[in-house]
Amino acid sequence: MAMTRDKVRSSQEVTHSHAVDLCQVAARLRVLSDNTEQSTQTQPGPPTPPLPTQQEQDLEDLQAEIEAYPALVKAGGRPPYPFHLLNEIFHHPEQYLEDPQYHDIILFWRGRVLHEEEKTPLCACHLLRWNRFRRLQRIIRQRSIQNWDTWGAFIERYGQREGSWGFPEYTERIKKRLSKYGFTRPFQLESDLSRQDSITTWIEYLAYEYWFYDQHASYIKRFQRKHDEAWKKLVDSGVLRPRESYELVCDIESVFKRAAENEEAKRTVQSTTAALLAAEVAVIKSCASQDVRDADERRLSPAQAARDKAEADYRSLMRRRDAITDFCQQTKG
């Protein structure tokens, strides 16, 4: 009963409450806004640091390369060039492409950005890759995933089930993978890394790199089939013009040219439609003789034909645009 009386009393209090003073509410909101603004002004957030210039970034990367060189040697890795060439290869890698000793390693790390201003610290990149390999060695031998997020993440990375990663099975897979690429020199991996010599470690590292090569080659093979099917579909659609090759379709200048062509066709539709409407209005409003009206109506025919042709051309370009866009989306990887 006490609870019921409280509910009734509360209901009566709400029912008989006074009307809200809107002026008072507005005044309170202004005070609150002022206080919030003052609080924001007195407690500014930390300033955003400016991005480094290209020169500053290059100096930072150069220092990383200088430090990575001895670190790579100490870790058992092999730097891709002698130390006295560090500055030259860092700043001008393209000048060493003709040298077969450095050609492959430069293309491996710099292939996509060879002529861009951004520099690539080759030793620092290789040190990171080498350390990942050394970590994999320990994981395989110790069945431990220290410094890895989860065993699932490790399996996702290397694509094998937990039960198949015993050391004897791993050794057998290494030998099969290397023999596939013509490496037949006998070797024996050690379960105790402290007993394994540097040559055997390099052989194991070669198999490690071939693992990645196999993954990329498999992807490229699948992608090539998908690419060929998409290109055949585009050719069969009939939207390509004579001598319009794959290279020409994907060239950025051709992309801009097609966009401009589509815009021009759209403007032509708009202008011919406006001309046709103007001619129709002139006929409707004409108060001249029958002969004059007949002449005006005859002028409608070419205006109609121009508009119809413009619309047909525009629809054709839209079909072409959609087909090429669909091809690019399917093959962009």
Identify which of 182, 198, 201, 216 has the alpha carbon closest to the alpha carbon of residue 108: 216
Distance of CA 5 to the CA centre of its chain: 67
pLDDT reported for residue 25: 43
The residue assigned the tokens 């400016």 is 50
pLDDT reported for residue 16: 42
Identify which of 153, 159, 173, 151 has the alpha carbon closest to the alpha carbon of residue 215: 159
Residue 30, pLDDT > 60, answer no
The predicted-structure confidence for 187-211, as pLDDT tens digits, reads as follows 999 999 999 999 999 999 999 999 8
The predicted-structure confidence for 213-246, as pLDDT tens digits, reads as follows 888 888 778 888 888 888 899 999 999 998 888 8
The full DSSP string for 130-178 is HHHHHHHHHHHHHT--TTSS-HHHHHHHHT--GGG--HHHHHHHHHHHH
DSSP state of 196: -
Helical segments of the chain, H only: 2-15, 22-42, 54-74, 86-91, 100-110, 122-142, 151-158, 167-180, 198-236, 246-250, 252-285, 290-331
The residue assigned the tokens 């990367």 is 61
Average pLDDT along the chain: 78
pLDDT reported for residue 11: 40
pLDDT reported for residue 249: 85
Over range 176-184, report the average pLDDT: 92
Higher model confidence: residue 311 or residue 36? 311
Q: What amino acid occupies position 191?
A: S
The predicted-structure confidence for 110-149, as pLDDT tens digits, reads as follows 765 555 677 889 999 999 999 999 988 888 887 655 545 5
The predicted-structure confidence for 264-319, as pLDDT tens digits, reads as follows 999 999 999 998 888 778 777 765 556 556 666 667 788 889 999 999 999 999 99
pLDDT category, 154, cuts 50, 70, 90? low
Q: How far is CA 140 from CA 49, 103, 106, 168, 213, in A?
A: 43, 33, 30, 10, 20
CA distance 5 to 23: 35
Q: How far is CA 180 from CA 208, 220, 265, in A?
A: 14, 18, 56
The predicted-structure confidence for 11-23, as pLDDT tens digits, reads as follows 444 334 344 444 4
Whole-model pTM over 0.75: no
pLDDT reported for residue 50: 79
